[in-house]
Amino acid sequence: MARNDLEEAFKGLNNYVNQLQEEYRIDSQYPQFQKDRKLENIKIENIYFLDDEEEGLVLADLYLYGYSFHVNTYHENGEHWKQFKNRAYDEAEIFIEITPSENYEGKFIIRYKDCVFSMELENAKIVENHAELMNKPFYEKRIMFKNEVDVLHTRLKSNVELFRIIDKFISQVSNVVFFEFIIQVGIEYKLEQISDIGKLYFSSSSILREVFANSKLGNEKEVSDYFDNDFSLLVKLIARKFEIDNREIAYYLTYSILRERVIRYFALNWKEQYGEYFNDVESSSLDELIFEYISIDSINPDIVMNASPFTYFLMYHQKFINNDNFIECIEVLSDILDKAKESKELDSFEKKLLTLNEDVSKLSIEDVDMMDGHEFERFVAKLFVRMGYSATVTKGSGDQGVDVIVEKNGRKYGIQAKCLSNAVNNKAIQEVVAGISHYRLDKAIVVTNRYFNSSATELALSNNVVLWDRDVLKEKIEAYY
């Protein structure tokens, strides 16, 4: 062998030895990995691994052992390519999430610790079973913790003073905290930062909490203001009042009690406002109740300030499979709601086709756009009369933000009518809110031929004002004209 060849061979051998020494040095820094590597490994072949360096999925084998694992990747010709090691430092809980692949039929996406894989269901189950086995001690601790909190919760169920405090708290906090599901996710993320021992109380998935933590969704300040101030004060009050020294128990007990009471609070509030539309709740199906919901004239079924309390109403009456999980319940409601609205739209379209030749002068939303302010007020009053209400147009000046007052079934609503060429701002909401007490109204509604800007929508939500935008108005015109 030539001298140069020998030098290259020794150089290659030396590099390999150095690499092994470096690997050994790194391995030795992970105590749990030292234990795990002595265990028999579970080998899962012919799967795909998301290689960040290659920015795509590559063919791989996965080796699971204890809390650690490593991945061998391969070129398309089967030649070994790279090895990735995930070394466990201690007995930390393994994060795992399994979802069906959107791009490959029969494949599942596995998020295992900080890695992503694609594999068939049979292999996904093997990974899941391994994670469950390793996570069993953590799960058992959470079960014990939840049992301890539940015992305290049950003991306090008959405490009238506590429920008065909780109900008062709910009434004073912005409804947005309880209505916006992403804020609920944020609250559970904040709880998890205090301690993850109570995760069995969570409605949100770990992925949703991760999305909240890593994405700027615009709700962070609301979540922090509520959690760090209002909620934390409530925790401290309950801890002092019932002599709870354990901080984790105090937080999760308060969360558990509050969540249960929120369902009851908004369910009864909804019943008081709209109970007349739901005469036989117990024997009605979920679909039937949702179809009735979209038929209520005085609300826009799409907006959160209506859909969320209605969800609590349905949860209170045990209409969902999992009646304790608000996030899951409102997702189910949204799916059925979309189908119900589509069915209603088709019914309206069919009716329109059948009556098309009977009324060629039918009013359209474009006709409404041509109206001036006074014409629009009279039109809104006439529309509500066609919907079965009695209606009165208020005097032009000094109307206290209410243009039309309508009544039906003993309930009185004040309407501000805005026929504009651009979006409605929050001034309209402020004006109609001022008229609620003046006219002794049950609810305020703002009707426009346009849309509402974000500040108007937010203010309406916090003041329980119903918003009818262009889409809702168009739907009502098509139904009643």
CATH 2.30.29.30 residue ranges of the chain are: 31-132
Helix (H) or strand (E) holding 58: strand 56-65
Q: Are 420 and 373 in contact (CB under 8 A)?
A: no
In 113-246, beta strands by DSSP E: 115-120
Q: Which of 7-21, 178-192, 249-263, 387-401 has the lowest mean pLDDT?
A: 7-21
Task: Report the pLDDT value the prediction gives residue 106, as an integer from 0 to 100.
Answer: 87
Task: Report the pLDDT value the prediction gives residue 428, as an integer from 0 to 100.
Answer: 94
Q: Where is pLDDT greater, at 14 or 402?
A: 402
Q: Are 62 and 69 in contact (CB under 8 A)?
A: yes
Q: Are 181 and 326 in contact (CB under 8 A)?
A: yes
Classify residue 349 as exposed, middle or buried by CB count within 10 Å of its CB (0-12, 13-18, 19+).
exposed
pLDDT digit string (tens) for 269-308?
Answer: 999 888 888 989 999 999 999 999 998 887 888 777 789 9
DSSP 387-422: TT-EEEEPPSSS-TT-SEEEEETTEEEEEEEE--SS
Q: What is the dihedral of CA 262, 266, 268, 273, to 10 degrees?
A: 170
Task: Report the pLDDT value the prediction gives residue 398, as an integer from 0 to 100.
Answer: 62
The DSSP secondary-structure symbol of 424 reads B
All residues at 6 or more sequence positions from 71 whose CB lies less than 8 Å from its CB, including other chains: 49, 60, 61, 62, 63, 83, 84, 86, 115
Using a pLDDT cut of 90, give the percent of the chain over it: 71
Task: Report the pLDDT value the prediction gives residue 234, as an integer from 0 to 100.
Answer: 98
Please, what CATH class does the domain formed by 365-480 belong to? alpha beta
Instruction: Just give the CATH number of 31-132.
Output: 2.30.29.30
Euclidean distance between CA atoms 249 and 298, whole angstroms = 43
Pick the closest to residue 265 from 410, 167, 384, 151 (CA basis): 167
Helix (H) or strand (E) holding 136: helix 121-155
Judged against a pLDDT cut of 80, whether residue 145 lies above it is answered with yes
Euclidean distance between CA atoms 196 and 327, whole angstroms = 19
Q: How many helices (H) and strands (E) does the chain have?
A: 18, 12
Euclidean distance between CA atoms 320 and 327, whole angstroms = 12
Task: Report the pLDDT value the prediction gives residue 96, as an integer from 0 to 100.
Answer: 93
Q: Identify the residue whose tokens are 């690997």.
A: 23
Pick the closest to residue 116 from 99, 130, 135 (CA basis): 99
CATH 3.40.1350.10 residue ranges of the chain are: 365-480
Cα(first)–Cα(last) distance of the chain, in Å? 98
Q: What is the mean pLDDT of the chain?
A: 90
Judged against a pLDDT cut of 90, whether residue 98 lies above it is answered with yes
Dig out the tokens for 398 from the structure: 């000094």
Mean pLDDT of 152-167: 95
At residue 42, the 3 state secondary structure works out as strand
Q: Identify the residue whose tokens are 């708290």.
A: 169
All residues at 6 or more sequence positions from 204 whose CB lies less than 8 Å from its CB, including other chains: 184, 185, 188, 189, 327
Dig out the tokens for 179 from the structure: 């209505």
Other C-beta atoms lying within 10 Å of the C-beta of residue 114:
7
Mean pLDDT of 118-141: 96
Mean pLDDT of 392-421: 88
pLDDT digit string (tens) for 177-221?
Answer: 999 999 999 999 999 999 999 999 999 998 899 889 988 777 899
pLDDT digit string (tens) for 343-402?
Answer: 988 887 887 777 655 554 578 999 999 999 999 999 999 999 999 999 999 986 666 889
Task: Report the pLDDT value the prediction gives residue 358, as an integer from 0 to 100.
Answer: 53
At residue 99, the 3 state secondary structure works out as strand
Ramachandran bin of 464, using left for φ above 0, alpha for ψ from -120 to 50, beta for the remaining angles:
left
Confidence of residue 15 (pLDDT cuts 50, 70, 90): low
From residue 32, alpha-carbon distances to 197, 222, 250 in Å are 22, 40, 33
Euclidean distance between CA atoms 453 and 369, whole angstroms = 18
At residue 203, the 3 state secondary structure works out as coil
Mean pLDDT of 158-183: 94
Confidence of residue 6 (pLDDT cuts 50, 70, 90): low
Task: Report the pLDDT value the prediction gives residue 360, as an integer from 0 to 100.
Answer: 47
